[in-house]
């Protein structure tokens, strides 16, 4: 039997809707469009792949379907695809005839994003972070992969407000990369952060879970496999607080129980933790996930450190959700 895989965009990694038959000015085409701007065209039989490619270029042309602009370079990617079941197909030592072609015009802005490097020093980048100039940080990051390492290095000291700004900035950077269809740098950063949480690294990634959470938050559908891995890091005591913060952050965008198993007894035990921060964060997670665990007034009034308008402040767990 062939191995089958749920289709995702070959440019940005988003899960895609099935292509559908539509009447265009140049005939009937089976196609769809991804949120990242890529057009995907299905050729279900394998007999008219050249025609399918031309159709894809017409649909992706910046000039519209009237013509293919000669000055535009197109990037093309494709996979074996079963139109009837809407799945990618893998046949060992065989060729599956159906194909799904993805095409995207390579505009000058995209070329600059992937090929040029913006010159900025770590000191100048720190100034942007101190000013919370996240718009400029987005622009700089798209052309300089050093930004990921800088943000990680600035995040270590929880008592320093710059650490909280670095985590917040990672969310902006991740969003910019997702919108540019540049997913691999984000996955590489996640892999480095997960490694920083291992014994081999010395377990230095105290806030790695929050940084990973910001990356996943940018587009959870691209990182569904990371969410259970992130949740599993709670088993290491030194990472528990960071993991809880990351899960609370993600819960404002997704239903966590669709991705992880949250055990009520485990949460009850966390409510009795010796650390006030852990107790407060657990109470918030319980509220966000609507878990049926009773929260006493003492727990709701437990103080939690949060970042607000450039400063670290303490607020009650019952009031902290809007800061997380």
pLDDT at 264: 92
Q: How far apart are CA 154 and CA 166, in angstroms?
A: 6
> Is residue 92 domain-resident?
yes
Question: Which pLDDT band, with edges at 50, 70 and 90, does 27 fall under?
Answer: confident
> pTM for the whole thing?
0.67
The confidence score (pLDDT) of residue 70 equals: 43
Q: Same domain for 88 and 151? A: no
From 66, 82, 106, give the residue that closes a domain. Answer: 106
Q: Does residue 139 form part of some domain?
A: yes
Tell me the percentage of the chain whose pLDDT exceeds 70: 86
Distance CA 270, CA 7 (A): 39
What is the rounded distance in angstroms from the CA atom of residue 280 to the CA atom of residue 313?
14
pLDDT at 256 over 80: yes
pLDDT band (50, 70, 90) for residue 161 = very high
Better pLDDT: 6 or 89: 89
Judgement on whether residues 138 and 86 belong to the same structural domain of the protein: no
Domain residues for the domain of 147 are 117-323
**Cβ–Cβ contacts within 10 Å for residue 1, how many?**
4
The set of residues, in sequence order, having a beta carbon less than 8 Å from that of 167 and lying 6+ positions away, is 151, 155, 207, 210, 211, 214
Which distant-in-sequence residues (6+ apart) come within 8 Å of 24 by Cβ? 55, 58, 59, 65
- pLDDT mean over 132-160: 91
Tokens of 242: 């960071």
Q: Cβ(137)–Cβ(127) under 8 Å?
A: no
3-state secondary structure of 34: coil
Dihedral over Cα of 273, 278, 280, 285: its sign: negative
- On whether both 149 and 257 belong to a single domain, the answer is yes
Residue 93 in domain: yes
In a domain, 111, yes or no: no
């Amino acid at each position: 039997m062939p191995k089958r895989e749920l289709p995702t965009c070959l440019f940005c990694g988003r899960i895609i809707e099935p292509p559908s038959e539509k009447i265009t000015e140049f005939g009937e085409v089976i196609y769809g469009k991804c949120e990242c701007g890529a057009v995907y065209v299905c050729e279900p039989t394998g007999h008219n792949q050249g025609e399918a490619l031309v159709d894809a270029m017409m649909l992706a042309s910046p000039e519209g379907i009237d013509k293919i602009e000669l000055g535009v370079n197109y990037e093309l990617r494709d996979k074996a695809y079963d139109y009837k079941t809407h799945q990618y197909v893998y046949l060992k030592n065989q060729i599956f005839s159906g194909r799904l072609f993805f095409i995207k015009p390579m505009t000058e802005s995209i070329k600059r994003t992937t090929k040029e490097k913006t010159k900025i020093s770590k000191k100048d980048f720190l100034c942007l972070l101190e000013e919370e100039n996240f718009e400029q940080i987005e622009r700089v990051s798209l052309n300089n992969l050093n930004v990921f390492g800088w943000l990680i290095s600035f995040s270590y000291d929880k008592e320093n407000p710059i650490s909280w700004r670095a985590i917040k900035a990672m969310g902006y950077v991740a969003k910019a990369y997702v919108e540019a269809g540049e997913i691999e740098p984000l996955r590489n950063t996640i892999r480095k952060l997960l490694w920083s949480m291992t014994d081999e690294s010395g377990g230095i990634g105290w806030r790695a879970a929050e940084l990973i959470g910001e990356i996943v938050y940018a587009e959870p559908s691209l990182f569904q496999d990371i969410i259970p891995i992130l949740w599993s890091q709670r088993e290491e005591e030194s990472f528990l607080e960071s993991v809880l913060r990351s899960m609370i952050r993600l819960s404002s965008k997704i239903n966590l129980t669709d991705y992880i198993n949250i055990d009520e007894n485990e949460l009850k035990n966390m409510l009795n933790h010796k650390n006030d921060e852990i107790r407060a964060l657990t109470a918030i997670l319980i509220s966000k996930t609507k878990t049926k665990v009773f929260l006493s007034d003492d727990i709701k009034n437990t103080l939690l450190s949060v970042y607000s308008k450039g400063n670290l402040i303490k607020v009650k767990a019952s009031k902290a959700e809007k800061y997380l």
